[in-house]
A and B are shown apart, each in its own frame.
Chain A
Amino acid sequence: MPRVGVFICHCGTNIEGVVDVEKALDEMKNYPSVSYATDYKYMCSEPGQNKVKDAIGKNRLARVVVACCSPRMHENTFRRCIEEADLNPYLIEIANIREHCSWVHPDNKEEATKKAIELIKASVAKVIKNEPLFPRYVPLTKRVLIIGGGIAGIQSALDTASAGYETILLEREPSIGGRMAQLDKTFPTLDCSACILTPKMVDIAQNKNIKLLTYSELEEVSGFIGNFNVKIRKKARYVNEEKCTGCGVCYTKCPKKLASEFDLGIGIRKAIYVPFPQAVPNIPVIDKENCIYFIKGKCKVCEKFCPANAIDFEQEDVLIEEKVGAIIVATGFDTFDPTVFQEYGYGRYKDVITSLQFERLINASGPTGGEVKRPSDGKHPKRVAFIQCVGSRDDTVGRPYCSKVCCMYTAKHTILLKEHEPDSKSYVFYIDIRAPGKGYEEFVRRAQEEYGATYIRGKVAKIYERGGKLVLKAEDTLIGKQVEIEVDLVVLAVGIEPKKDAKDLARKLNISYDTYGFYNEAHPKLRPVETLTDGIYLAGVCQGVKDIPDAVAQGSAAAAKVCGLFSSDELITDPLTSVVDKDLCVGCCACISACPFNAIEEEVLEERTGERIVAKVNETLCKGCGVCVATCPSKAVSLKGWTDEQVLREVEILVGSRK
């Protein structure tokens, strides 16, 4: 029987105020299994820890029980402490006589003391059965994959690259830039969005540590932190990237026109195209589904005119395999589709548009060259209504949340409209104005006071068309009267929602998401850029609605986490994992399906009698939850640190079958 030492903490008055520590100490001193017992005011303090270390040496202790606060507080503290006294750090048990005893039974001192004594005895019974455990060391690949080439992904890539790590930036559109590339100016400074974005895009292209993969998507991910295997599908552009000079003759000559996705349907692109003039890389892509050659076998005008002979209709998708140590997800967002609000007429009335479409109209490199024109007749609108909270703060469409940025971008729209159309008048219909950032409130006031936007508090009830104009009906809630207004153009401030396939990507990566599809951070307050899947980090709106400064901040934060991960050459794994006894395992693989962390895999054993399948635990992925132990019908899986032997000894004390 190993020699056990018991150390009871008073925790100031937290424990001693309820539990009679002297009585408990007395009983433990006389307890047969215990070789040494003592107490102290604050066991976790330096003198307290020294007491433990001294006692181990002087009394030749082989096991330690500390009766104190929750193990979540100081288990690691005391593990390190006994390790310094040359004892394996897993030969210790914490008896929680604070959160589980003194704090919850403050009015019942006698019973609390009895309970504390039982808890300590149970820990003693368990610790006797504890075995030394040793962590493993796993190598890691110091390369990072960043999924998403918007501003958050771009920032992450620039930061990890400048820290010296090889970075793969993966973007599924033909160019990086994301949503910022679609914007005209940004609030509250009214910086030109492309002007502040494109230098960063060029940096990406020129950075030696960054491998830029555009028009590419993540196909598959396997592995674990430090050791991910990713399969990427580089879609065929049908343009040879080495030969293309970006001259643009191909898309000038291409005869096939279609609605541009980048311009949200109000502009045109060709079947061979770059999404916008400042695209990085500036290499066009052929849209196979709409290219005349691919559909009918004729045309090939682009190939005829290309001076660099770069068109290659035979090109195929390429599957690339990469090994990375960390993944940053920065996949961005989509906007709410307001067609479902038939009372607003989006989709029926040409002059009812979304805020992002308005952004394209007002952009100098947009489809109308920055001229605000009514989609119906091309005339310049004199009166424009902006409606806030379309698809946000609305239970009827399952979007009760506030999209945070719409109040600000609408104020910006009224200012930009006034600059482009000095004769125009803006009317903003709102419920509340949210302007919480630096200079934000001042910006909204400016829109009203300097630029003359009229703000009316009341959510628009209905829009209909009359004589070529749009009529809006609402209540001005600040005066309590119904109002009606006739305008030339209506802009719906649509809400922000996760990308339509966000959930599919999450499943590939094994990260979790909330009811809307925004990815879950590890802790809502304190761990905003990590996920509960080790090695995968988040940045930008895919984690939750935010403005550009916050997205950039998160991009850098995620990069910092990756750099922290890569600062050591090996990963230390927690030894409190499960292990399969191959001799008992029958290969039913129930544990493999049950494991919530995908940490168990099949192993083929070559034996004299032939091949046999058994289960094998990946200790790096295993979180020690114990579900596999409970699932196994043959009792072949056990959890190190909580074997049946260890736990049952504790239970015996607690149910009183052993004293």
Chain B
Amino acid sequence: MKLAYYPGCSLEGTAKEYNLSTKAVCKALGIELIELPDWNCCGATSAHATNHLLSIVLPTRNLIKANELGLDLAIPCSACFNRMKTSDYYIKRDKKIKEEVEKLLGRKYTANSKINHLLGIFAEDKINAIIASKVVKPLQGLKVAPYYGCLLVKPPKIVEFENAENPQSLDNLIITLGGEAVSDFAYKTECCGASLTLTREEIVLGLVNKILKDAQLRGADCLVTICPFCHFNLDAKQKDVERKFKANYNLPVFYFTQLIGLALGISPKELGIDKHFVNPLELLKSLELA
């Protein structure tokens, strides 16, 4: 299986372990990732808050690259995925926008590449079966709270990813890996605050506190995420949250590709697990998973 890989700006930096684990896991599963040549930033939140046309033209440049490669896309970051799907949605429905975008880029958008979030690819029956067959270290005893975040599943009409209120693909993946998905995690699709972490930190701390509190209430040992910003807020900010709300969580936050990698027997170092703020090694060692 060959896919056009769009890492997104944060995977080279603050979400490096996501990049490492994604590449390691894809290699182990025989999925060839071809990084989009000279890809540009999707615009994230800032573009759509400033100019509608800009927010569509930036992601489309990358979509066209995938079209030209003749490959479907694999996108690890929820925000990038959301913006790509949104651009595709508006270009297909608004002739004026399509014209303006194609004029600015000097190329045509043929829409022949399927836009996938990385989770969507691993949730496919075929790939899921391959993963199941290659599990050598089932995540036995690991209670994971599956945190989808908001942009992967909303708005349902545009992203077309499962049920927006109670998605199951990450839950099912955890079970495939031999772990236990905490049922009834009330905050599974509630927003972490994303970019407000830089502009209004206290709001993010409040939101993250609620998420961690509920995960702890449901008996989770750790959380798993599918987005770099969610990971940053839940992991890097956890100590600040504990300090502000006088709580004690100590809940490591994994990228889902790291969990897949662990179950496939890839070493924690290769998966970038040593780069986390909340150290997961103790938890993993206690369950003999590392």
Q: Which residues of A contact B (CB under 8 A)?
A: 341-343, 348, 462, 464-466, 471
- Cα-based distance from A548 to B7 in the complex (angstroms): 62
Q: Is the CB of A464 within 8 A of B166?
A: no
* Interface pairs (16), CB distance under 8 Å: A341-B165, A342-B163, A342-B165, A342-B166, A343-B165, A343-B166, A348-B166, A348-B184, A462-B165, A464-B184, A464-B186, A465-B184, A465-B186, A466-B186, A466-B217, A471-B186
Q: In whole Å, how far is A387's beta carbon from the nearest beta carbon of chain B? A: 15
Q: Which residues of B contact A (CB under 8 A)?
A: 163, 165-166, 184, 186, 217
The residue in chain B whose Cβ has the minimal distance to the Cβ of A344 is B165
Chain B interface, DSSP helix/strand/loop, else mixed? loop
- Cα-based distance from A342 to B153 in the complex (angstroms): 13
Using Cβ atoms and an 8 Å threshold, which residues of chain B touch A462? 165
Q: In whole Å, how far is A409's beta carbon from the nearest beta carbon of chain B? A: 26
Using Cβ atoms and an 8 Å threshold, which residues of chain B touch A466? 186, 217
* Residue of B163, B165, B217 with most chain A CB atoms under a 10 A cut-off: B165
- Cα-based distance from A348 to B163 in the complex (angstroms): 14
- Cα-based distance from A343 to B186 in the complex (angstroms): 10
Using Cβ atoms and an 8 Å threshold, which residues of chain B touch A464? 184, 186
The residue in chain A whose Cβ has the minimal distance to the Cβ of B218 is A466
Chain A interface, DSSP helix/strand/loop, else mixed? strand
- Cα-based distance from A465 to B185 in the complex (angstroms): 9
- Cα-based distance from A343 to B163 in the complex (angstroms): 10
- Cα-based distance from A341 to B163 in the complex (angstroms): 10
Q: In whole Å, how far is A552's beta carbon from the nearest beta carbon of chain B? A: 40
- Cα-based distance from A342 to B189 in the complex (angstroms): 12
Q: In whole Å, how far is A341's beta carbon from the nearest beta carbon of chain B? A: 8
- Cα-based distance from A342 to B163 in the complex (angstroms): 8
Q: In whole Å, how far is A52's beta carbon from the nearest beta carbon of chain B? A: 62
Using Cβ atoms and an 8 Å threshold, which residues of chain A touch B217? 466
- Cα-based distance from A342 to B154 in the complex (angstroms): 14
* Residue of A341, A348, A462, A464 with most chain B CB atoms under a 10 A cut-off: A464
- Cα-based distance from A464 to B187 in the complex (angstroms): 9
Q: In whole Å, how far is B160's beta carbon from the nearest beta carbon of chain A? A: 15
Using Cβ atoms and an 8 Å threshold, which residues of chain B touch A341? 165
Q: In whole Å, how far is B212's beta carbon from the nearest beta carbon of chain A? A: 15
Q: In whole Å, how far is A453's beta carbon from the nearest beta carbon of chain B? A: 27
- Cα-based distance from A212 to B47 in the complex (angstroms): 70
Q: In whole Å, how far is B162's beta carbon from the nearest beta carbon of chain A? A: 10
- Cα-based distance from A342 to B166 in the complex (angstroms): 6
> What are the nearest 5 A-B pairs in CB distance?
A464-B186, A342-B165, A342-B166, A343-B165, A342-B163
The residue in chain A whose Cβ has the minimal distance to the Cβ of B166 is A342
The residue in chain A whose Cβ has the minimal distance to the Cβ of B186 is A464
- Cα-based distance from A174 to B163 in the complex (angstroms): 39
Using Cβ atoms and an 8 Å threshold, which residues of chain B touch A465? 184, 186
Q: Given A343-B166, A348-B166, list of 10 further CB < 8 A pairs?
A: A341-B165, A342-B165, A342-B166, A348-B184, A462-B165, A464-B184, A464-B186, A465-B184, A465-B186, A466-B186
The residue in chain B whose Cβ has the minimal distance to the Cβ of A465 is B184
- Cα-based distance from A543 to B225 in the complex (angstroms): 50
- Cα-based distance from A343 to B156 in the complex (angstroms): 14
Q: In whole Å, how far is B81's beta carbon from the nearest beta carbon of chain A? A: 21
Q: In whole Å, how far is A473's beta carbon from the nearest beta carbon of chain B? A: 10
Using Cβ atoms and an 8 Å threshold, which residues of chain A touch B186? 464-466, 471
Using Cβ atoms and an 8 Å threshold, which residues of chain A touch B163? 342
The residue in chain B whose Cβ has the minimal distance to the Cβ of A349 is B184
Q: In whole Å, how far is B231's beta carbon from the nearest beta carbon of chain A? A: 23
Q: In whole Å, how far is B198's beta carbon from the nearest beta carbon of chain A? A: 25
- Cα-based distance from A342 to B165 in the complex (angstroms): 6
Using Cβ atoms and an 8 Å threshold, which residues of chain A touch B165? 341-343, 462
The residue in chain A whose Cβ has the minimal distance to the Cβ of B167 is A342
Q: In whole Å, how far is A484's beta carbon from the nearest beta carbon of chain B? A: 11
- Cα-based distance from A69 to B74 in the complex (angstroms): 71
Using Cβ atoms and an 8 Å threshold, which residues of chain B touch A343? 165-166
- Cα-based distance from A471 to B166 in the complex (angstroms): 16
Q: In whole Å, how far is A33's beta carbon from the nearest beta carbon of chain B? A: 59
Q: In whole Å, how far is B125's beta carbon from the nearest beta carbon of chain A? A: 22
Using Cβ atoms and an 8 Å threshold, which residues of chain B touch A342? 163, 165-166
- Cα-based distance from A395 to B186 in the complex (angstroms): 26
- Cα-based distance from A464 to B210 in the complex (angstroms): 14
Using Cβ atoms and an 8 Å threshold, which residues of chain A touch B166? 342-343, 348
Q: In whole Å, how far is B206's beta carbon from the nearest beta carbon of chain A? A: 13
Q: In whole Å, how far is A154's beta carbon from the nearest beta carbon of chain B? A: 41
Using Cβ atoms and an 8 Å threshold, which residues of chain B touch A348? 166, 184
